[in-house]
Amino acid sequence: MSKLPYSSEQILTESLENLTPPRRASLLCRGSDRVGLTAAPVRVILDDVAIRGDLALKELALRLDGVSLESLEVPRARWVEALDAIDPDLVAAMKRAIRNIEVVQHALLPVAATVSPEPGIVITRQPIALERVGVYAPGGRAAYPSSVLMGVVPARVAGVREIVVCSPPGPDGCPSGVVLAAAELAGVDRLFAIGGAGAVGAMAYGTETVPRVDRIVGPGNAYVAAAKLQVASSVGIDSPAGPSELLVIADATANADVIARELLAQAEHDPEAVVIVVAIGEEVARAIMLRVMAALPTQQRRDTIEKALTSRGAFLWTSDVGTAIDFSNDFAPEHLLLAIKNAAQLLPRLRTAGTIFVGQSSSVAFGDYMTGANHVLPTGGLARSYSGLSVLDFMRFTTYQQVDPDAAASLAGDVGTFADAEGLFAHAATARQWGTSEWSRS
């Protein structure tokens, strides 16, 4: 029997316009408490790794993963063995994904920009790839080779000199074979059998074996998320990540079975995954709900899906597309699927989403694996201020400034006035020296 608090005879849908303020707030404010609850033990782990390095990592592997590691680093020969052992169809799929990611990321590469705001002043903003980055690849209950590709390939396209991957060890002391194979295909430089907060600390601070990196990216559990937040003052990180999210805007042109499958697919990620439909019309919402209920008993990850639907699911409806768009912009979903007539025409009005899938055939699953766009995306409403992972996360920008003597003489007086007003008199003197006739003749 379903654990859900409703049945096919009593479909629970909610009018978007009639949501009470507390109910609306409960939908919008969906940050996970798990990161906060793990903050204290994560701090202990990070401090231990910072002080004791490799020894702390090996003790963590024994205590948390149940494996005794002789070496933290996995030799490349093991990656090659893993690649040779996996299904050729999976190899072909990963190669196709890599090609598509490369094409997309090459198109996003920034170029230097040069401008002259006044005669004699030349400003250049130059993109420069990071030296070394760390990619976290989840393990434990599930292994995600796709996450390896999503982190590694953009870094390689950006021109990062060294790419390090950390992933939890299995019973044999190595990460999952599919993770090793993905690392070999994607062009990883070094790979370590360490996971959780310890891996984040190792990449942030460096140990005897694990090199310190300039940025850490990749999804993980609450411990990984908390660790990334705590090391953010020492190393760059991607956007803080939480459970997967999907918001669907659907109208009567949408196929209810298709939308139901999309909801089930995202709900199977995590018991705290967020899956919400905003339907144009109550009957559309009810039809999608019925398809979800009908398909639920056949799902292999039914328990996970039920928990997600119970705690984070909602079937909302409105008669107005504009109201649906306003809700979506407030919600700022990780994934937004537009299963609606003339979906592309809505795009200029949709301002906050990690990624938008235009039309019901643009399945979120395609974006998770194969379109070339990245699946490492902001969650919890952070799409208001963060973007999905790309080559830009693996680059920094340096500004070059050149001022010729004539321009220096022109700037001297105004800069001196600014500096005097701020009480920085040495600044004023430095500027004004260029306004003298002595310098203008040189």
Catalytic (active-site) positions? 334-335
Question: Sheet holding 132-136: strands in order across?
Answer: 190-192, 162-166, 132-136, 215-217, 236-237
3-class DSSP assignment, residue 7: strand
CB within 8 A of 5, min separation 6: which ones?
A: 12, 310
Residue in 56, 90, 57, 60 with CA at minimum distance from that of residue 72: 57
Distance, in Å, from the CA atom of 45 to the CA atom of 227, rounded to the nearest integer, reads 9
Return the H-helix or E-strand segment holding 279: strand 274-280
Q: Where are the alpha helices (DSSP H) in 241-281?
A: 256-267
Residue appearing with tokens 């070999």: 184
CB within 8 A of 303, min separation 6: which ones?
A: none
Distance, in Å, from the CA atom of 389 to the CA atom of 240, rounded to the nearest integer, reads 11
CB within 8 A of 363, min separation 6: which ones?
A: 262, 357
- In eight-state DSSP terms, residue 234 is T
